[in-house]
């Protein structure tokens, strides 16, 4: 196993990308600190660090839309991780399956799968 202290944390954080383990769709991008990564490894459930709330959180702790982690990959520079996950429900807090649901022109290309007002 890679020593987690060998990762290149920027202000204590690494980029974390969640990708569907079956479809390879990119679901979301977040940040992890060492503790979030350790909890993810231990529980096989995705944990992240919220920069806005300044706290550790488990994906789905409020919504039930959790991420079951199948694989964790480290990039060549050791400054980002890729989580291959089974997404239960939607990944995006706005109700879409993935956070990448719109083009740069503003066109909606993703599918909305839940009403966030009923979940949060």
The parent domain of residue 85 ranges over: 6-92
Specify if 100 maps to a domain.
no
Summarised one tens digit per residue, pLDDT across range 4-49 is 989 999 999 999 999 999 999 999 999 999 999 999 999 999 999 9
The whole-number average pLDDT for the span 102-111 is 96
pLDDT at 1 over 80: no
Please report which confidence band the pLDDT of residue 67 belongs to, taking 50, 70 and 90 as the band edges. very high
Using CA atoms, how far apart are residues 37 and 5, in angstroms rounded to an integer? Answer: 11
Specify if 106 maps to a domain.
no
Q: Is the dihedral of CA 104, 96, 118, 37 positive or negative?
A: negative
Specify if 101 maps to a domain.
no
Specify if 1 maps to a domain.
no
Specify if 70 maps to a domain.
yes
Specify if 109 maps to a domain.
no
Q: Residue 24: helix, strand or coil by DSSP?
A: coil
Q: What is the CATH number of the domain that holds 85?
A: 3.10.20.810
> What is the model's pLDDT at position 120?
85
pLDDT at 83 over 80: yes
Of 71, 17, 16, whose CA–CA distance to 44 is shortest?
71
Identify each DSSP E strand in 43-79 by its residue range.
Answer: 47-50, 55-58, 67-74
Specify if 102 maps to a domain.
no
Specify if 13 maps to a domain.
yes
């Amino acid at each position: 196993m890679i020593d987690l202290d060998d990762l290149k944390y920027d202000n204590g954080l690494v980029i974390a990308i969640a990708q569907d383990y079956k479809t390879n769709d990119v679901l979301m991008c977040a940040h992890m600190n060492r503790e979030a990564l350790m909890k993810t490894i231990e529980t096989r459930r995705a944990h992240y660090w919220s920069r806005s709330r300044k706290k550790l959180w488990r994906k789905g702790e409020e919504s039930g839309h959790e991420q079951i982690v199948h694989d964790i990959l480290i990039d060549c520079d050791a400054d980002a991780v890729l989580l291959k996950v089974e997404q239960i429900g939607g990944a995006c807090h706005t109700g879409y399956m993935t956070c990448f649901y719109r083009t740069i022109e503003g066109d909606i290309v993703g599918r909305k799968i839940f009403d966030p007002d009923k979940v949060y």
